[in-house]
Chains A and B, each alone.
Chain A
Amino acid sequence: MEGSAAHVAPLPETAAVHWRPPMDAARLHKRATLWTLTTAAHVIPFVAAGIVLFLVQPLAVAVSLASFGHAWIIPMLYAARGANVMRPSGARPQNGSATPRNGARPQNGSATGCADPVAERTAVGLLGDLVGHDARALHARTGLVVERGALGVWVVGEAGAVLLTGRRRRRATCFCVRVADPDLPSADRIAHLLLALRADEVGFATVANMAFSGARWRVRRRLPAAMRPALEAAARLDRV
């Protein structure tokens, strides 16, 4: 049942963030509302200033447009920050190839192009044992794993996860969370996060740092094209 995670043993990592209240459905909703209000507090003054300035002095239209631009770009920057949790790090090349800017997967079998391809294939095999056929195929295409949880539907990447909640999964909450060892193969890092998520979903969300909460389409626009099908597949889970 969504919104009421069954009682489970708490994730041991939550002890390191003991001051944080559990990120259950109620707190998640509260944080999402707060995030929306904060965004509105950033956007409304710029829109209002642009309108008032234009009414008072139409010749200052350039300044009004700049003000509207600020109102548009601030939520976009927040969404980009959220989408970044899905991107492969790709900062540790061993073969000289970084992750393509379009997010397409490198041809050597590695999701990031940084790990030993043999290790990456081994890790993908283990990850494949943990998920179903559809999730395995989706991971092969996008480098992301979709997982239905009690709080919503998760899209898990190697350095974070996006939780889709609400009606038709329109709300995306992005969490930045990672494994201590940065040299693990990409699929192993996803498997780490997936196992922690499955063991204690609320604990997982508590340990993770929230990077963004807002409309799913905003996050989708900022994702590399190759990763977008994962977000769409997660949203479709609502209707299955």
Chain B
Amino acid sequence: MSRLVRMDRTGHTTLAEWSAGDPAAHEAAVVAFREELDRGYFAMVSTGEGHAEQVKELPIDADLVILRLPISGG
């Protein structure tokens, strides 16, 4: 089961869960994904130990997609 997670003030919120064999759940996840991107979040997926990648389309085969806010110099 794949998960779309947003890091927020509650710790994190699971916005959607889907599996490759459930197109309806995946479609709902895509909608949620795009809404969060429109709100200014960036989507990240881990690509191995110590590596991550920003994605602009929801990868259907990713186990975990994390939405993060932008960072800036303090």
Contact = CB atoms under 8 A, between A and B. Distances in A.
Contact of B73 (A118, A122, A195, A209): A209
Contacts of A13: 70-72
B9 A185 contact: yes
A160 B74 contact: yes
Contacts of B68: 179, 191-192, 195-196
Given A13-B72, A16-B72, A192-B71, A126 B7 contact: yes
A183 B66 CA distance: 18
B29 interface: no
A130 interface: yes
Interface residues of A, number: 50
Contacts, number: 109
Contacts of B54: 9, 11-12, 199
Nearest to B44: A195
A4 B8 CA distance: 33
A179 B71 contact: yes
Contacts of A159: 74
A9 B44 CA distance: 12
A181 B69 contact: yes
A199 B72 contact: no
A184 B50 contact: no
Interface string B6-32: 011111100000000000000000000
29 contacts: A12-B70, A16-B72, A116-B9, A119-B9, A120-B11, A122-B10, A124-B11, A126-B7, A126-B12, A126-B66, A148-B50, A176-B73, A177-B72, A177-B74, A178-B74, A179-B69, A180-B70, A181-B8, A185-B9, A187-B11, A188-B11, A191-B7, A195-B52, A196-B68, A198-B46, A198-B51, A199-B51, A204-B71, A208-B74
Interface of A: 8-9, 11-13, 16-17, 85, 115-116, 118-126, 129-130, 132, 147-149, 159-160, 175-181, 183-185, 187-188, 191-193, 195-196, 198-199, 204, 207-209
